[in-house]
Amino acid sequence: NAGVTQTPKFQVLKTGQSMTLQCAQDMNHNSMYWYRQDPGMGLRLIYYSASEGTTDKGEVPNGYNVSRLNKREFSLRLESAAPSQTSVYFCASSISYEQYFGPGTRLTVT
């Protein structure tokens, strides 16, 4: 039982490049989330998926897209990376109010 897994762990991109962050959970949770964590800003919700087949914007969705591929997987795509997207990205899942987090992806955009 791996919980929530994320790939990659680290990534460096040049401005304008695209990439997809992958997230998978094996806990049969309905809801999945993408957050970014920046110093002094706490966790900010980018997108979430309340159930398979649905996605909704969070607090900071600009510059990102998501896909809920199936119940297990929820990916985050940066179409044209910008330095302002340098951050640590966490995926989380939940079946109720408690959230379970993945190990994070540290992304640097130069």
Partner 1 sequence: AQSVSQHNHHVILSEAASLELGCNYSYGGTVNLFWYVQYPGQHLQLLLKYFSGDPLVKGIKGFEAEFIKSKFSFNLRKPSVQWSDTAEYFCAVNLAGGSYIPTFGRGTSLIVHP
Interface residue with partner 1 among 50, 55, 61, 75 (CB under 8 A) is: 50
Q: Within a 10 A sphere around the Cβ of 89, how many other Cβ atoms?
A: 22
From residue 64 to residue 103, the character string flagging contacts with partner 1 as x (rule: CB under 8 A) and all else as - is --------------------------x-x-x-xxxx-xxx
Nearer to partner 1, 28 or 97 (CB): 97
Any alpha helices (H) in 3-108, and if so which ranges? none
Euclidean distance between CA atoms 99 and 65, whole angstroms: 21
| Binding window for partner 1 (CB under 8 A); candidates: 19-27, 40-48, 61-69, 76-84 | 40-48
The Cα-based distances of 71 to 49, 54, 91, 109 in angstroms read 10, 10, 14, 30
Euclidean distance between CA atoms 60 and 103, whole angstroms: 21
Residues lying near partner 1 in the complex (CB under 8 A):
4, 31, 33, 40-43, 45, 48, 50, 58, 90, 92, 94, 96-99, 101-104
